[in-house]
Structure 1
Amino acid sequence: MTTALIILAAGQGSRMNSDLPKVLHEVANAPLFAHALNAGASLEPEKTVLVVGHGGDLVEAAARKIDDTIVIAHQTEQLGTAHAVAQARAALAGFDGDALVLYGDTPFVTSQTLTNMIAARATHDVVVLGFDAADAGRYGRLVTSGETLERIVEYKDANDAERAITLCNSGVVCANAQTLFALIDAVGNDNASGEYYLTDIVELAWSAGKTATAVTCDEAETLGINTRVELARAEGIFQTAKRAEALDNGVTLTAPETVFFSLDTYVGRDAIIEPNVVFGPNVTVESTARIRAFSHLEGCHVSMGATVGPYARLRPGAELSNNAHVGNFVEIKNARIGEGTKVNHLTYIGDADIGDGTNVGAGTITCNYDGVFKHKTTIGRNAFIGSNTMLVAPVTVGDDAMTASGSVITSHVEDGALAIARAKQVNKAGLAIRLFEKLKSAKKNAQKGL
Structure 2
Amino acid sequence: MLRKETSEELIQLEKQNQSKRIKRIKESKNHFDLNPYGVNFFNIWVKFPKKMFFIFISAILYNIAVATFLAKAATIATGLSALVQTITFSVSKTAPYFAYIYFLFNLPLVIFFWKKNARLFMVLTTYWLIWQMCFQSLLLIPQVSNVFDKIAIFYVNWQTPGKGEYGDIQNSLRTLIPWEAYGNYLNHYSSWWNLIKDQDAFMKQFNLSSAEYLSLLRFYDVLSRGYTNPTWPIIIYAVIGAICGGSAGGLAWKNSASTAGGDFIVYYLSRVKQKSVGSMSMIIAFCFASFSIFVISTLELSGVVSRGPGGKPLNHGAILLRVLCSVCYIFIYSAFLELIFPKYKKIKIEIYTKEPEKIIKHFKDIKYWHGYNISHVTGGYTVTETTVIETTALFLEQNSIKNEVWVAEPNAWITITRVHNIHGHFDTSKID
Q: Give TM-score, length-normalised by structure 2.
A: 0.22
Q: Which has the higher strand share?
A: 1
Return the structure number with greater helix share.
2
Q: Which has the higher contact order (CA 8 A, sep 6+)?
A: 2
